[in-house]
Amino acid sequence: MKPLAPVDRASLVATRRDIHQHPELGFEETRTANLITDRLRGLNYHVTPGIGKTGVVGLKTNAGRCVLLRADMDALPVQEANAVPYRSQQAGKMHACGHDGHVAIGLEVARRLAPLDLGGSVKFAFQPAEEVSDGAQAMISDGVLEQPKVDAAFGIHLWNDLPVGTIGVMAGPVMASVDQFEIEILGRGGHAAAPHQTIDPVLVAAHVITALQSLVSRRRDPLSEAVVSVTEVHAGQAFNVIPDRAQLRGTVRTFGGSFFDDAPQLVKETAQGVAAAFGAQATVQYRRLSAPLINNEKLSALMRDVAADLIGAENVRQGVRTMGGEDMAFFLASVPGCFAFVGSAPKGGRASPHHSPTFDIDEESLVIGAELLSRVAVAYLRDDGR
Ligand code: NI
């Protein structure tokens, strides 16, 4: 096989900065999708736009197995506070999670793989709407894993919790399930000075919030990870009126296991039980947004070997996990694969957190990400033993 062409750093950075200046929210990524479509067609990929609404699939077929490489494309409703020349030109929208870099990396990998005889098919999934957890499912429903059938999937996230020059990769669950709950507490309103004539939903809500915290401390196996956060509280409109209802919203995060299975029932029972003790009623809506992201053991070992080869084994980090969610989980629930974290914080410097208005990356991480994904695709298609 011909060797991989060197990474074109200038083009990679230019593409990332172009997309950074033109951020688009989930399922609105039309400019980004058009740019991807044009570039992939120029490289002679078979391109199908409109997979999962604004998603784009690029395919290069060959006999043998099929590997899918996934890059998410969407931005966030954040106002950029960086004063860089390539800052967002859209008010209130920003690539504050690094997905601009993921697109640039995907296109660079496509450019490098295009002229090679890979011994198998490679399929690029440029995915919309990761931030709202809907894009991966939309692409899967539209058949991205079929024709040809995908045998393995790989992806990366640029990661500001790690310095550039390091990669986090490990088998098992590395990103958490994302569940959302909404609790409505129905009491009986009345005068603030006559609480005995009311059923105060504000007080009930306070007890429900406190009781929900005991799920993690008392209903979960302490050796398994979980978070329960109540993040919204809405009730009342006047200081001297006890309202008749209160609303709570929040999220449960896990790496799977029995607490993941039990959480919907536990949240419901807790809210309803506490409410009942006060003579109120609670209704609970519980929605699963995404499952935990679980890396396949063999393919994580493959990606770790590729990473070690690229940056040295001492720079490959074990144990990098987060309770944040990622809808790549849906791909990895359908086919085996691995999702790695590519360090993007400046060496020795401070990096702003993901989703913050001052988020930015060390662009050397783009080169490392492009190398990692290119090489892992080549290695997977070459290595029939795995
Ligand atoms: Ni992200």
Identify the CATH number of the domain in which residue 237 sits.
3.30.70.360
Q: From the CA of 292, how far away is ligand 1's center (Å)? A: 15
Residue 2 lies in a domain: no
Residue 62 lies in a domain: yes
b/e per residue 109-135 (b: at least 16 CB within 10 A):
bbbbbbebebbbbbbbbbbbbbbebbb
Looking at the structure, do residues 216 and 169 belong to the same domain, yes or no?
no
Residue 1 lies in a domain: no
* Residue 357: CA count within 13 A, CB half-sphere: 10
Looking at the structure, do residues 355 and 334 belong to the same domain, yes or no?
yes
Looking at the structure, do residues 96 and 156 belong to the same domain, yes or no?
yes
Looking at the structure, do residues 276 and 305 belong to the same domain, yes or no?
no
Looking at the structure, do residues 268 and 311 belong to the same domain, yes or no?
no
Q: From the CA of 11, how far away is ligand 1's center (Å)? A: 22
Residue 323 lies in a domain: yes
Looking at the structure, do residues 43 and 64 belong to the same domain, yes or no?
yes
| C-beta separation of 78 from 358 below 8 A | no
Q: From the CA of 328, how far away is ligand 1's center (Å)? A: 10
Looking at the structure, do residues 286 and 304 belong to the same domain, yes or no?
no
Q: List the domain range (segments joined by +) for residue 38.
A: 9-174+293-381
Q: From the CA of 99, how far away is ligand 1's center (Å)? A: 6
Please list the pLDDT of the chain residue by residue as tens digits (386 residues): 788 999 999 999 999 999 999 999 999 999 999 999 999 999 999 999 999 999 999 999 999 999 999 999 999 999 999 999 999 999 999 999 999 999 999 999 999 999 999 999 999 999 999 998 899 999 999 999 999 999 999 999 999 999 999 999 999 999 999 999 999 999 999 999 999 999 999 999 999 999 999 999 999 999 999 999 999 999 999 999 999 999 999 999 999 999 999 999 999 999 999 999 999 999 999 999 999 999 999 999 999 999 999 999 999 999 999 999 999 999 999 999 999 999 999 888 789 999 999 999 999 999 999 999 999 999 999 975 44
Looking at the structure, do residues 42 and 93 belong to the same domain, yes or no?
yes
Q: From the CA of 100, how far away is ligand 1's center (Å)? A: 10
CA–CA distance, 31 with 20 (Å, rounded to integer):
12
- Enter the pTM of the model: 0.92
Looking at the structure, do residues 278 and 297 belong to the same domain, yes or no?
no
Q: From the CA of 86, how far away is ligand 1's center (Å)? A: 19
Residue type, 49: P
Looking at the structure, do residues 22 and 84 belong to the same domain, yes or no?
yes
Looking at the structure, do residues 303 and 259 belong to the same domain, yes or no?
no
Q: From the CA of 236, how far away is ligand 1's center (Å)? A: 36
Q: From the CA of 139, how far away is ligand 1's center (Å)? A: 17
